[in-house]
Amino acid sequence: MAKKPTKAQEMHQVELIIGQILRIGVVLSAIVISIGIIMMLIQGNGGYPNGVQPNGFTAIWSGLLQLKPFAVIMLGLFLLILTPTLRVAVSIYAFAVEKDQLYVWITTAVLIILIVASVIGYLGR
């Protein structure tokens, strides 16, 4: 019969997962940004005229399909911004496991603020 993990063991696992998310997110974004920089060095430009850059998801996606270096760099930056937001979302689960309702609500409010600020920033360009 398998022994049920204790609350402390379960929290340790959640903390390891949060650490993994942060590491993977930063490393992945650094790799993507590096690929974009290498592409820029090889092509000699960013793929866009001076003063123009992709500033939306569709523009970034379109630039990625056309292998434009600056679009690849923008994807890396987007992944870097997404990493701590994902960490906050996983923290909600961690606090729920601890049955700490106050921190579940506070962390949920922080996640909502992050999402709203991102949407406002995106729409406000």
Q: Is residue 61 part of a domain?
A: yes
Q: Is residue 83 part of a domain?
A: yes
Query: Can you tell me the distance from the alpha carbon of 61 to that of 71, in angstroms, rounded to the nearest whole number?
Result: 8
What is the pLDDT, as a whole number, of residue 51? 76
Segments forming the whole domain that contains residue 85:
11-47+54-124
Q: Is residue 115 part of a domain?
A: yes
In order, the DSSP letters of 47-109 are: SS-TT----SHHHHHHHHHTT-HHHHHHHHHHHHHHHHHHHHHHHHHHHHHTT-HHHHHHHHH
Question: What is the domain count for the chain?
Answer: 1
Query: Can you tell me the distance from the alpha carbon of 125 to that of 53, in angstroms, rounded to the nearest whole number?
Result: 12
Q: Which of 41, 37, 22, 14 has the alpha carbon at shortest distance from 79?
A: 22
What is the pLDDT, as a whole number, of residue 1? 56
The pTM (predicted TM-score) of the whole model is 0.78
Segments of the chain with pLDDT less than 70: 1-2, 125
What is the pLDDT, as a whole number, of residue 125? 61
Q: Is residue 72 part of a domain?
A: yes
Residue with tokens 């000699």: 44
Q: Is residue 79 part of a domain?
A: yes
Q: Is residue 111 part of a domain?
A: yes
Q: Is residue 1 part of a domain?
A: no
Q: Give the Å distances, CA to CA, from 19 to 2, 38, 76.
A: 27, 28, 19
Q: Is residue 2 part of a domain?
A: no
